[in-house]
Amino acid sequence: MSKILAFTNQKGGVGKTTSTANIGAGLARAGHRVVLVDLDPQANLTHGLGLADPEHNVYGALLHEYRLKAYPLQENLALVAGAPALSGFEKVKGDELDREFLLKDLLEPIQQRCDYILLDCPPALGLITLNAYACATALYIPLEAQLYATDGLDKVMEMVARVQRRVNPTLTVGGIFFTRFDGRKVLRRETAETIRDKYPGLVLEQTIRETIALGEAPHLGQDIFSYAPTSAGAADYAALVQEILTR
């Protein structure tokens, strides 16, 4: 049975999609069978990994228009495409019985065929995110160490507590990790220490430095290991994958 890891933050622009893509690619390179699922209506994960105009996507599968399809990207790595229509998911399914378990039901048939399923959640705590939390084994929260960084984090942690009580009692927070991190800046270091003190044991040791290559790779439809395997970004994500595997 595969582990389902949800990458989430109520705040946008924190490197959530970049992290989902590169951690997924890193796990695949380590020999694990990985399926990525793009749950963000912006579909940046889909476009950033070079999948243009896919015929099947997760929204159509959730509506039972067709079976779930994972498009192969490279050895051990496949992607369930996202779609802008996901923005209407709550309106379409909001009144349905057991609406928070629709994604869990959809993913069950593929759980025996892969080791990890990684969910790229939208930057909002709506029905799509609730579905992700309801089926996830663990949540990983990318975060920038800057002013107001804890605002979105606190909201995520509040929702996690509610989901644990009512929907998914086995859900855990796998870890919080810092993206676009610059240890030379005092404010970044101080903010990181504040969050480590507030959430002891949850903040991962590995940080992701801001590098040009991490920004360039999605424009060419590639993960960082394919685009710039010797870059600082590749080294950081490789180390982060190893830390996740040992938790």
- Across the range 11-18, mean pLDDT stands at 90
For the stretch 59-94, pLDDT in tens is 999 999 999 999 999 999 999 999 999 999 999 998
pLDDT for 89 equals 94
State how far the Cα of 28 lies from the Cα of 143, in Å rounded to an integer.
Answer: 24
Average pLDDT over the chain, rounded to an integer: 94
Start-to-end Cα distance in the chain: 18
The neighbouring-strand residues paired with 142 are: 177
Indicate the pLDDT class of residue 183, thresholds 50, 70 and 90: confident
Give percent of the chain with pLDDT exceeding 70. 99
Indicate the pLDDT class of residue 29, thresholds 50, 70 and 90: very high
For the stretch 115-159, pLDDT in tens is 999 999 999 889 999 999 999 999 999 998 876 767 778 889 999
Res. 205: pLDDT tops 90: yes
pLDDT for 62 equals 97
> C-alpha 20: how far from its chain's center?
4
Enumerate the domain spans of the chain.
3-245
pLDDT for 97 equals 87
Give the SS3 label for residue 136: coil
Q: If we measure between CA atoms, which residue out of 43, 42, 39 comes closest to residue 51? A: 43
pLDDT for 230 equals 98
For the stretch 85-110, pLDDT in tens is 999 999 999 888 899 999 999 999 99
Out of 3.30.160.60, 3.40.50.300, 3.40.50.10860, 3.90.1150.10, the CATH code matching 3-245 is: 3.40.50.300
What pTM does this model have? 0.96
CB 30 within 8 A of CB 22: no
Residue 232 vs residue 185, higher pLDDT:
232
For the stretch 218-243, pLDDT in tens is 999 999 999 999 999 999 999 999 99
